[in-house]
């Protein structure tokens, strides 16, 4: 389970249904980085247009003191930014941010915690946009291109194949119609696995297993059957390692019994399909990268509720 969860969750508390303020989101991210679950926490997600607001909210969490001259700075906060401004403007803002937050000799910010933007998320409507964007992206910035749920996944996979860059799919939302059907998610996973294009998913995945849940935190929230992150990322691992076809992936995505997924010493699997720990680790590292969630505490709490995580 630890292999499965390591670096799996990008924290997106700014976005619905949580919709926290920047100060609240940054404080929660800082808090979770100090818990026993921190190994599962990857990046903080925010729009590029809110970088100045992030700086203001994060300063008291980042600048805890200076690192001694003979010691390396601890790991930086990783940030993933959504492109909500023109690309050139966004890239310039990222450069400024990373320079301002650099940790190391010769920089004013060699404090106990620095921050770095190493991932950008770009919504695209056509494969041609991907090709144009790639030509302008710096090598040290990894992009996930969010593809439309009604698009031709194969054409987007073709545009990304061989680049090493990723594709992103929206897997839910605050209304039932925003949740894509199992067959569509299975097709996305299958096509990207065949093209060796890393994937990220976002929205509607803060519960481990497929089931009916409230779509928001309001008392009168609508309910709908949502995808589970265990379903999605186990299916992705099976697609990568075992070359499971779309039909098999759809069956994994439809699973509503968490007991059907096994996480034992040295292996993991779904029903009769098994992966070694090493196979699962490789699938997570090179293909089934992460998902964005407006809550980090909730996925971890849900796993504890069903006895899949020991109490910390």
Which CATH number belongs to the domain containing residue 37 in this structure?
Answer: 3.20.20.70
What is the model's pLDDT at position 112? 43
pTM: predicted TM-score of the whole model, two decimal places: 0.93
H or E segment at 56?
helix 51-62
Instruction: Please report whether residue 311 resides in a domain.
Output: no
Domain with 285 in it: 2-305
Mean pLDDT score of the chain: 92
Q: How many domains does the chain have?
A: 1
The Cα-based distances of 255 to 97, 142, 258, 290 in angstroms read 43, 32, 8, 20
The tokens of 210 are what?
A: 């497929």
* DSSP assignments along 202-244, one per residue: ESS--SSS-EEEESSSSTT--EEEE--HHHHHHHHHHHHHS--
pLDDT at 159 over 60: yes
| pLDDT surpasses 80 at 199 | yes
Task: Tell me what pLDDT residue 109 has.
Answer: 46
Which tokens sit at 305? 């509720």
In a domain, 112, yes or no: yes
pLDDT digits (tens, 9 = 90+) for 221-253: 999 999 999 999 999 999 999 999 999 999 999
In a domain, 310, yes or no: no
> In whole angstroms, what is the distance from residue 27 CA to residue 214 CA?
25
pLDDT in tens, 35-82: 999 999 999 999 999 999 999 999 888 865 455 556 665 678 999 999
How many angstroms separate the CA atoms of 290 and 7, rounded? Answer: 7
No. of H helices and E strands in the chain? 11, 13
What pLDDT is stored for residue 104 in this prediction?
Answer: 52
Q: What is the pLDDT of residues 94-133, one digit of tens each?
A: 999 998 887 554 444 444 458 999 999 999 999 999 999 9
Mean pLDDT of 1-12: 97
Name the percent of the chain in helix, strand, coil, to the closest 5: 40, 20, 40
Nearest Cα residue to 11 out of 72, 66, 253, 31? 31
């Amino acid at each position: 389970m630890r292999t499965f969860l390591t670096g799996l969750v990008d924290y997106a508390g700014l976005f619905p249904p949580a919709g926290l303020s920047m100060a609240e989101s940054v404080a929660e991210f800082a808090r979770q980085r100090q818990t026993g679950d921190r190994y599962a926490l990857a990046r903080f997600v925010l729009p590029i247009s809110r970088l100045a607001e992030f700086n203001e909210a994060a300063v008291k969490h980042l600048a805890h003191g200076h690192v001694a001259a003979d010691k390396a700075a601890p790991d930086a906060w990783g940030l993933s930014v959504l492109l909500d401004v023109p690309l050139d403007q966004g890239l310039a803002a990222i450069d400024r941010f990373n320079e301002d937050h650099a940790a190391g000799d010769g920089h004013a910010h060699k404090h106990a915690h620095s921050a770095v933007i190493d991932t950008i998320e770009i919504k695209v409507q056509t494969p041609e946009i991907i090709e144009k964007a790639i030509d302008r992206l710096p090598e040290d910035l990894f992009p996930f291109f969010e593809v439309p749920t009604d698009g031709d996944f194969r054409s987007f996979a073709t545009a990304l194949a061989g680049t090493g860059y990723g594709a992103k799919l929206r897997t839910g939302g605050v209304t039932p119609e925003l949740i894509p059907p199992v067959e569509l998610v299975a097709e996305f996973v299958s096509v990207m696995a065949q093209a060796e294009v890393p994937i990220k998913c976002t929205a509607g995945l803060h519960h481990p297993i497929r089931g009916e849940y409230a779509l928001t935190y309001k008392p009168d929230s609508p309910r709908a059957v949502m995808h589970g992150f265990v379903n999605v990322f186990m299916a992705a691992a099976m697609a990568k390692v075992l070359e499971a076809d779309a039909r098999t992936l759809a069956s994994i995505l439809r699973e509503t019994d968490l007991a059907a997924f096994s996480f034992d010493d040295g292996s993991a699997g779904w029903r009769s399909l098994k992966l070694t720990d090493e196979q699962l680790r490789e699938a997570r590292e090179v293909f089934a990268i992460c998902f964005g969630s407006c809550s980090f505490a909730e996925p971890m709490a849900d796993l504890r509720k069903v006895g899949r995580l020991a109490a910390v």
